Amino acid sequence: MGIFKRFFDKLKYTFKRTELNDDFYDELESILVSSDMGVEQALDIMDELRITCKKKLIKDTENAQNELKQILIDRLDAEEVEFNYPLIITVVGVNGVGKTTSIAKMTKFFQNKKKSVLLAAGDTFRAAATEQLSNWADKLKVKIVKQGEGADSASVVFDAITSMKAKNYDVLIVDTAGRLHTKTNLMKELEKINNIVNREYPEAQKLNLIVLDASIGQNSIAQVKAFKDTVNIDGIVLTKLDGTAKGGVVYPIINELQVPIIFTGFGEKVDDLDVFDKTSFVEKILM
């Protein structure tokens, strides 16, 4: 417990100090790095804070904290994504980040907007993945297009788009098999799904969303990079923010890869999804 207690004591006192000395910046670094944003980002943000404080002649920690908050918010700036219908969302990500649960939540989100939603069970790889999504579909009273385990996921997607067009659904959400981004054959399958979506419904808006688990560290950067090399990635769904994880790894992702966060997930219930809010995200990091 030693490390842990010391850590929280630090957080508490950092902003109670009055002087902007080295201790202040050291402790600041610990807060930033502990959010998983990486050393490079943390040092860069601290440099920016130093310069800002110097420029604005800020000498006390309280004002410095406000400046820091603003810097952290500004760094989350990214192009906003608008939803147009018909809309096809393909959900990708590595194993265990919460893809299926996020799909259920997004379904509810669009239902709340009075949109009709169709699901495609494109994870034909993991045992019982289709059952898991079917369970959600039953609960949410939406239709799901599925085939058996081991079926060709691209053909599931093809069926789903046919059905979407025939019955004028507003939104199609496609589940895909979780894959470590280092598995090239599974990444190729994703490319195939993407090609089918583009070919079969050119007039629909398409979004590829990557689901990231807030408790994962620097590897999330590699994940987004690898998926981005294969298909276009339009946004992030950041899950599991109901724990103590802060998800600071999105800083280098937004900064280097320009992929915006669209939704945040914070629980297992279908309503536990928010449209990304920069201010509350930053407040959690500084909490």
Partner 1 sequence: MALFSSLSERLNHIFSKMTKHGKLTALEIKEAMREIRVALLEADVNFSVAKDFIAKVSELAVGEEILKSLTPTQQVIKIVRDNLIELMGGENQKLNVSPKPPTVIMMCGLQGSGKTTMCGKLALKLKKEGKKPLLVACDIYRPAAIDQLKVLGKSIQIDVFERGTQNPVKTCKEAVAYAEKFSLDTVIIDTAGRLQIDEKLMQELKEIKRAINPTEILLVIDAMIGQEAVAVSTAFNDALDVSGVVLTKIDGDTRGGAALSIRSVIGKPIKFVGVGEKLTDIEPFYPDRMASRILGMGDVLTLIDKAQEAMDEKTAKEMERKFKENSFDLNDYIEQVNSLKKMGGLKSVLSMMPGISGKLKQIEDQIDEKKLERNKAIIQSMTPKERANPDIINGSRRQRIAKGAGVEVSDVNLLIKQFNQSKEMMKMMKNPKAYGGKMAMIRKLMGN
Question: What is the residue-wise DSSP string for 218-237?
Answer: THHHHHHHHHHHHS---EEE
Q: What is the pattern of x (binds partner 1, CB under 8 A) and - over residues 7-26?
A: x-------------------
**Shortest distance, position 215 Cβ to partner 1, whole Å:** 4
Give the distance, in angstroms, between the CA of residue 30 and the centroid of all CA atoms in the same chain.
Answer: 24
Cα–Cα dist 116/130, whole Å = 20
**Shortest distance, position 182 Cβ to partner 1, whole Å:** 5
Reported residue count of the chain is 287
Cα–Cα dist 185/274, whole Å = 33
Binding to partner 1 by residue 1, rule CB under 8 A? yes
- Region from 62-70, 110-118, 152-160, 177-185 binding partner 1, contact rule CB under 8 A: 177-185
**Shortest distance, position 13 Cβ to partner 1, whole Å:** 15
**Shortest distance, position 166 Cβ to partner 1, whole Å:** 28
**Shortest distance, position 179 Cβ to partner 1, whole Å:** 8
Q: What is the pattern of x (binds partner 1, CB under 8 A) and - over residues 30-69?
A: x--xxxx-xx------------------------------
C-alpha distances out from residue 47 to 71, 213, 255, Å: 11, 28, 16
Residue from the set 149, 152, 159, 274 that interacts with partner 1 by CB under 8 A:
149
Cα–Cα dist 212/221, whole Å = 10
**Shortest distance, position 194 Cβ to partner 1, whole Å:** 17
Residue from the set 11, 73, 151, 226 that interacts with partner 1 by CB under 8 A:
226
Residue pair 206/198 in contact by the 8 Å Cβ criterion? yes
Torsion, CA 274, CA 278, CA 284, CA 287, rounded to 10: -150
Binding to partner 1 by residue 180, rule CB under 8 A? yes
Site for partner 1 in 75-134 (CB under 8 A): 94-98, 126-129, 131-132, 134
* Contacts of 185 by beta carbon, 8 Å cutoff, 6+ apart: none
Q: Please tell me the count of residues contacting partner 1 according to CB under 8 A.
A: 50
Q: Which is nearer to partner 1, 167 or 188 (CB)?
A: 188
Residue pair 212/93 in contact by the 8 Å Cβ criterion? yes
Cα–Cα dist 219/251, whole Å = 13
* Bridge partners for 210 per DSSP: 92, 236
Binding to partner 1 by residue 181, rule CB under 8 A? yes
Q: Which is nearer to partner 1, 161 or 241 (CB)?
A: 241
Q: What is the pattern of x (binds partner 1, CB under 8 A) and - over residues 237-266?
A: ---x-xxxxx--x-----------------
* Contacts of 161 by beta carbon, 8 Å cutoff, 6+ apart: 88, 172, 196, 197, 200, 201
Residues contributing to the site for partner 1 (CB under 8 A):
1, 3-4, 6-7, 30, 33-36, 38-39, 94-98, 126-129, 131-132, 134-136, 149, 180-184, 213, 215-220, 222, 226, 229, 240, 242-246, 249, 268
